[in-house]
Amino acid sequence: MMARSVLGAITVPGRPGEVAAARRFVAKALAGRPEVDTAVLLTSEAVTNSVVHTDSAMVTVVVLETPTGVRVEVTDEGGDTLPTMYDGYELREGRRGVFLIEELSAACGMRRHDNGLTFWFEL
């Protein structure tokens, strides 16, 4: 496992209006870095998925520096389903977020744990 350094973390209520707070946090944590705009977009998609597809009271976003770039982890309380990667034929409304993350990140994935689910991406 590569060493990672935490650049910051924020926990927001699991409500649609809080997605903007997560975006602002990532923009500030990565200010001046070339990957900031992509990280903000992908964070918005990941946090929106947490808010829309789970009943999570809280969503946590952690920004980490890795030897090769940055990693953003979005943790929620989990839901009945897992985020699903979709191919280009499934780009109708409500199916683009994970596809965008998969296409624009260097790597992405998820892991279940006792407290819920963490979806992550690296740039």
The whole-number pLDDT of residue 99 equals 83
CB under 8 A, 24+ apart: contacts of 25-32: 25/61, 25/63, 26/61, 26/63, 26/72, 29/63, 30/63, 30/70
Nearest to 7 by CA among 18, 76, 113, 27: 27
The whole-number pLDDT of residue 50 equals 92
Report, as ranges of residue numbers, the positions in the chain whose pLDDT lies below 50.
Answer: none
The whole-number pLDDT of residue 117 equals 92
What the chain holds in terms of domains, given with CATH numbers, is 5-122 (3.30.565.10)
Residue 40: CB atoms within 10 A of its CB come to 19
The whole-number pLDDT of residue 14 equals 95
Q: What is the pTM of this model?
A: 0.88
Lookup result for tokens 């992550």 = 120
The whole-number pLDDT of residue 78 equals 81
The whole-number pLDDT of residue 98 equals 82
